[in-house]
């Protein structure tokens, strides 16, 4: 006879007491609420951050670009000093008698261009202030030695020779854009050719840029003037060069800007008084 089959009994389910079930339910509910509130907080944070980021952009679009406005200058206390070397005038009528040897410093770390030490320090301050207003200035030319200046002049003369101008006419036309070495103020260390990242071309289109607008408003506060203004070509003998700025010191620059005159006219007027 076969032995009777044995059946094993499964252990009885462990039942939770009512108190244990209630505690577990409360813990689960609390966890769900914590997760829900954390999710809400994350959504609110994202929305708040998005709104805070978007508001300035919307305001900027509605308000339009920032207006760069020059401060009003009261020149009552201005005193002209004819011996101020920062006012050294160099042009075709007043060429160098001796090649200058200015103390130089790096003005623009990116381009490596140098200016006279005081001018370099002021340029760096000016470029930093412009950058804070969203304007990136680039110093493309500062101090130039005699050979560099002469090479630039000869290159300009050659462009007119290539256009079949006579030697005399080529030299005359070149001098209105690129003075000869002994009449080029880049030798002083005070002349600065300034452009911007959005318009790196050295032509009159720079006058349409925000960088030029900024410089026109604020450069004088750092001692720089527009050297060859559009409406003063008869006095300077040089065509309009919106990129060409000249360091003359803050008080001189503010007085010159307020006068509306070129450097030649301003110095002549001050010496006449």
Query: Rounded to an integer, what distance in angstroms lies between the CA atom of residue 100 and that of residue 253?
Result: 22
User: Strands 224-226, 244-247: parallel, antiparallel or unpaired by DSSP?
Assistant: antiparallel
The percentage of residues in the chain with a pLDDT greater than 90, rounded to a whole number, is: 69
Which pLDDT score is estimated for 55? 61
Which pLDDT score is estimated for 197? 83
pLDDT digits (tens, 9 = 90+) for 76-110: 899 999 999 999 999 999 999 999 999 999 999 99
pLDDT digits (tens, 9 = 90+) for 6-53: 544 444 446 778 777 777 778 787 778 878 887 787 788 787 776 777
Check residue 238 and report its DSSP letter: S
Query: Rounded to an integer, what distance in angstroms lies between the CA atom of residue 255 and that of residue 74?
Result: 9
Tell me the β-bridge partners of 245.
192, 226
**CA gyration radius for the chain?**
36
How is the beta sheet containing 191-196 ordered, strand by strand? 137-141, 191-196, 244-247, 224-226
Average pLDDT estimate for 260-273: 95
Average pLDDT of the chain?
Answer: 89
Q: Model pTM?
A: 0.77
Q: How far is CA 248 from CA 143, 187, 226, 237, in A?
A: 15, 14, 11, 19
Q: Strand (E) positions, 90-217?
A: 104-106, 114-116, 137-141, 191-196
Torsion angles phi and psi, residue 225, rounded to 5: -125, 155
Which pLDDT score is estimated for 12? 45
pLDDT digits (tens, 9 = 90+) for 49-75: 767 776 655 555 565 678 898 888 988
In this prediction, residue 231 has a pLDDT band, given cuts at 50, 70 and 90, of very high
Query: Rounded to an integer, what distance in angstroms lies between the CA atom of residue 136 and that of residue 42?
Result: 37
Q: Are 89 and 191 in contact (CB under 8 A)?
A: no
Question: What is the biggest distance separating any 2 CA atoms in the chain, rounded to whole angstroms?
Answer: 144
Which pLDDT score is estimated for 198? 79
Instruction: Give the tokens for residue 214.
Output: 């900024």
Q: Name the residue among 69, 128, 78 with its Cα closest to residue 254.
A: 78
Average pLDDT estimate for 159-184: 94
What stretch of H or E contains 145? none
For residue 171, pLDDT beyond 60: yes
Torsion angles phi and psi, residue 137, rounded to 5: -90, 145
Q: Are 218 and 69 in contact (CB under 8 A)?
A: no
């Amino acid at each position: 006879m076969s032995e009777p089959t044995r059946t094993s009994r499964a252990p009885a389910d462990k039942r939770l007491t009512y108190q244990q079930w209630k505690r577990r339910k409360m813990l689960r509910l609390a966890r769900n609420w914590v997760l829900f509130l954390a999710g809400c907080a994350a959504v609110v944070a994202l929305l708040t951050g998005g709104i805070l980021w978007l508001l300035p952009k919307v305001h900027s679009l509605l308000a339009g670009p920032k207006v760069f406005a020059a401060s009003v200058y009261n020149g009552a206390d201005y005193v002209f000093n004819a011996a101020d070397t920062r006012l050294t005038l160099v042009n075709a009528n007043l060429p160098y008698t001796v090649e200058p040897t200015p103390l130089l410093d790096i003005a623009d770390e990116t381009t490596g261009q140098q200016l006279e030490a005081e001018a370099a320090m002021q340029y760096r301050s000016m470029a930093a202030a412009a950058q804070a207003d969203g304007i990136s200035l680039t110093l493309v030319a500062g101090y130039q030695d005699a050979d560099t200046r002469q090479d630039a002049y000869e290159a300009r003369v050659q462009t007119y020779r290539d256009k079949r101008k006579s030697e005399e006419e080529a030299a005359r036309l070149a001098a209105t854009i690129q003075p000869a070495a002994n009449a080029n103020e880049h030798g002083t260390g005070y002349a600065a050719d300034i452009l911007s990242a959005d318009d790196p071309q050295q032509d009159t289109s720079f006058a349409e840029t925000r960088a030029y607008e900024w410089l026109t408003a604020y450069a004088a506060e750092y001692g720089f003037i527009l050297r060859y203004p559009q409406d003063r070509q008869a006095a300077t003998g040089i065509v309009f060069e919106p990129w060409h700025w000249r360091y003359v010191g803050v008080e001189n620059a503010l007085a010159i800007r307020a006068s509306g005159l070129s450097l030649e006219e301003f110095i002549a007027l001050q010496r006449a008084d």
